[in-house]
Homo-oligomer: A and B are copies of this chain.
């Protein structure tokens, strides 16, 4: 008798996750219109269930509802990118500060591991998607080390929005910068320097934000 507990998922949760995933992977586009009946048909659940899912995602800031009129996936203007990256910077700075203040043996090990995984990936030139994944994982690791569930929650929401336009914005040649951007942050935390860790994190996000903002402006110019 050593069976793993199988977790039932209520349909509302499944629908929410499925739709969220569809939005984040870009299989439903930004600004696309969503109707409750159509989604209900596709997911093979009732409208009420879809409705609940949509409201959840609305709280997460991924879709918006115009009353009695319709749902649609949010759109992202340059202004939104600024907002999102500013938020990310602020939250990560808080996270990095707390992480550095409270770092223990176990946390140090996790952080080193997450960092090394990213750096190793860059050196061995694994796929760009994989690098992105490890990049996100490192940032998330830092935030988790703050041991603040509310911070983690808010950060997850912002991270989602980052993914949202990262799925449209590409960049092959920023790989080299990854190591030099992240290494100092990791080391500041490992050496338990809260102020430095916070400053570096905020700056890193700002420069990332500016880089992506510039990239998207170039794209806009072409059109």
Q: What residues of chain A have their CB less than 8 Å away from a CB belonging to chain B?
A: 10, 48, 51-52, 55-56, 59-61, 67, 82-84, 86-87, 89-91, 93-94, 98, 146, 148-151, 153-154, 157-158, 161
Contacts and interface: CB of A to CB of B under 8 A. Distances in A.
B10 A67 contact: yes
A33 to B, nearest CB: 20
Contacts of A98: 86
A59 B61 contact: no
Contacts of A48: 48
Contacts of A151: 83, 86-87, 90
The A interface is mostly helix, strand or loop, or mixed, namely helix
11 contacts: A10-B67, A52-B52, A55-B55, A83-B151, A86-B94, A87-B150, A87-B151, A89-B94, A90-B91, A93-B94, A154-B157
A136 to B, nearest CB: 19
A148 B87 contact: yes
Q: Which 4 A-B pairs have the closest CB atoms?
A: A90-B94, A59-B59, A83-B150, A83-B148
